[in-house]
Amino acid sequence: MKKFITVLLTAIALIVLAGGVFVGVKLYDKYSEGDTRADLYDYFELGSSEKGAIMFDGTILEENCRILNDVCYLDIDTVQQYLHNRFYYTEVSREIRYTDATTVVVAPLDGGSWSSTTAGATESFEEPYTIALAIDDTCYIALDFVEKFVPVTHEIYREPDRVVMESMELCKEVVTVKKDTVVRWLAGVKSDILTDVAKGDEVMILDAEGVEDWTKVATADGFVGYIKNSRLGEKSMVTGASTLAYVEPDYVSTQLDEKVRMGFHAVYNMTANGNLESVLETAYNINVISPTWFSLSDDAGNFTSIASKDYVDKAHARGIQVWALIEDITNRDEVDTYRVLADSNSRTHLINGLMNAAIEYDFDGINIDFEGIRKDEGPHFVQFLRELSILCRENDIILSVDNYPPNSGNSYYDYEEQGIVVDYVILMGYDEHWGRSGDPGSTSSQPFVEQSLDNLMDMVDADKIINALPFYTRLWKSAGETVTDQAIFMKSIDQYVSDLGMMIDFDYETGQKYASVEKDGALYQMWIEDYASMENKLIAVQERDLAGVAAWRLGYEEQAVWELIGSYVK
């Protein structure tokens, strides 16, 4: 019996022991810290050893860098998006540029030389590294060079390649590590280890509340992961101190000391310059006139000119400024605008030509009316404005740019940048329904104008915005599936309504009078631009305290309209 009891107790003890071991193993597996190291190439999603990861202000970017000869290179899009949008690359001239209010910096690809031009004086410099290069048709810029103009610092790390960038002006919360520990990929003791941190190291806090007992941090060597709260000590706020020697000059605008009352003067030959006095009889209270004098004429940046010094002198004698207009429409089929703007030599030739004309004819401003810009031309158009604006500031020439209402399809005109570098941004508040579109409707309905202005004001200061009014409308004729249209001068609208026997109603949707008639198997329609519609648009300008108004075009209107403009735009 004794033997049986002994065997039984032994068996029970073994079972208990085995159970204890099993439970112990389970508890150990649950609570012991794993020591598996993460595959860092997987962590950074680096499909190629040629690419490197980027951490910027505690965030790992989707974009990659290249580290060549211990120099970090970022592609031009990454530089523009995260560091400064005024770095510019022209594939035609194979160079990068950085442009601010007074200076143009130029660095050709595949070398260490660069130049800086301010007020006509050029200095040359040399770097011990390649400043910019092209890889797979993409321009890459050395981060060391970018840092000459942007308050950012960086450190390079290897295996895998990565760069840690930080804004010198970043205000961040940091915490001190109080004992040697590791940073894990996820919040858990079994999660793979990303990197080690030592007692006394500081890490940037990204989220202290997201996961119980863990804090999400960014490390100095470029990892975002988790540390147990028990391993962390005191928190503090740290603000970077910029040591950048380069200080970007202010963009000082040249503007009128009163609201702008501007009229576009369609001048298509030298003889038409003689019409100045006749158009001013009606537009008696304008303070700016913009004659259509210049047209792009070839790929080298030349333009045709019908400018007149006598015209300028007569306008000045009446206290009216002259802002000469250059357009890209007349010779669009013959001129490669992309080549003009993307080639540094052609672009510079165009800019110098405009400035020489301003000095020769003594006009007060330049109006850019480039309405045919394509998406691929957009960055080069904006660079053209940046560079032109420098010479305009130096010579007290007012620079204005005509623009379509902002929409998702024309954002490449970069209204925000225009609002910084030019003196006036002119909204062409018309052609809501445009000629030859086959789409009958208002030229400039009230909701269209107000929404366009509000959209533009999201990107440009109100004191730089000029709203351009239409002194015309369109007569639409719909015959079956055929739709044609005809531009009608404001002063001729009543005659067309009378001749066609059109009925007039008020269209509450557009805020305008609407005229229509069915005649000879066709429907004629017109959304009328008149004194009342002009007043509504002027009220919108006044309520938003804009810089003023312009009008396309002089000669289409009655004098009463200018009396109205004078009462609202003072």
pLDDT tens figures, 76-119? 999 999 999 999 999 999 999 999 999 999 999 999 999 999 99
CATH superfamily name and code, 260-471+529-568:
Glycosidases (3.20.20.80)
CATH superfamily name and code, 168-239:
SH3 Domains (2.30.30.40)
Residue 397 tokens read as: 């020439």
- Residue 169 — very low, low, confident or very high, per pLDDT cuts 50/70/90? confident
Supply the pLDDT for residue 18.
53
- Residue 29 — very low, low, confident or very high, per pLDDT cuts 50/70/90? low
Amino acid of residue 451: Q
Supply the pLDDT for residue 23.
45
Supply the pLDDT for residue 28.
44
Amino acid of residue 242: S
Residue 528 tokens read as: 């009328």
- Residue 47 — very low, low, confident or very high, per pLDDT cuts 50/70/90? confident
- Residue 298 — very low, low, confident or very high, per pLDDT cuts 50/70/90? very high
pLDDT > 60? residue 22: no
Supply the pLDDT for residue 14.
60
When pLDDT is averaged across residues 318-347 and rounded to a whole number, the result is 97
Residue 195 tokens read as: 């990197």
CATH superfamily name and code, 42-165:
Copper amine oxidase-like, N-terminal domain (3.30.457.10)
Could you give the C-alpha distances from 115 to 97, 169, 326, in angstroms and in order?
10, 27, 30
- Residue 244 — very low, low, confident or very high, per pLDDT cuts 50/70/90? low
Secondary structure class of 538 (helix, strand, coil) = helix
Q: Which residues contact 490 (CB under 8 A, 6 or more apart)?
A: 471, 472, 473, 529, 530, 556, 557, 558, 561
When pLDDT is averaged across residues 34-46 and rounded to a whole number, the result is 96
When pLDDT is averaged across residues 72-78 and rounded to a whole number, the result is 98
Question: What is the number of other CB atoms lying within 10 angstroms of the CB of residue 462?
Answer: 13
**Distance between CA atoms of 351 and 399, rounded to whole angstroms?**
12
Supply the pLDDT for residue 292.
98
- Angle CA 370–105–420, to nearest 5: 45
- Residue 248 — very low, low, confident or very high, per pLDDT cuts 50/70/90? confident
Higher-confidence position of 322 and 10: 322
Supply the pLDDT for residue 242.
61
When pLDDT is averaged across residues 264-293 and rounded to a whole number, the result is 98
Residue ranges of domains in the chain: 42-165, 168-239, 260-471+529-568
Q: Contact, 49 vs 66, CB < 8 A?
A: no
When pLDDT is averaged across residues 450-466 and rounded to a whole number, the result is 98
Residue 19 tokens read as: 């159970």
Q: Contact, 491 vs 556, CB < 8 A?
A: yes
Mean pLDDT score across all residues of the chain: 94
Nearest alpha-carbon partner for 553 in 265, 261, 325: 265
**Distance between CA atoms of 56 and 165, rounded to whole angstroms?**
5
DSSP 446: H
- pTM score, two decimals? 0.93
Q: Which residues contact 88 (CB under 8 A, 6 or more apart)?
A: 96, 97, 98, 99, 379, 383, 386
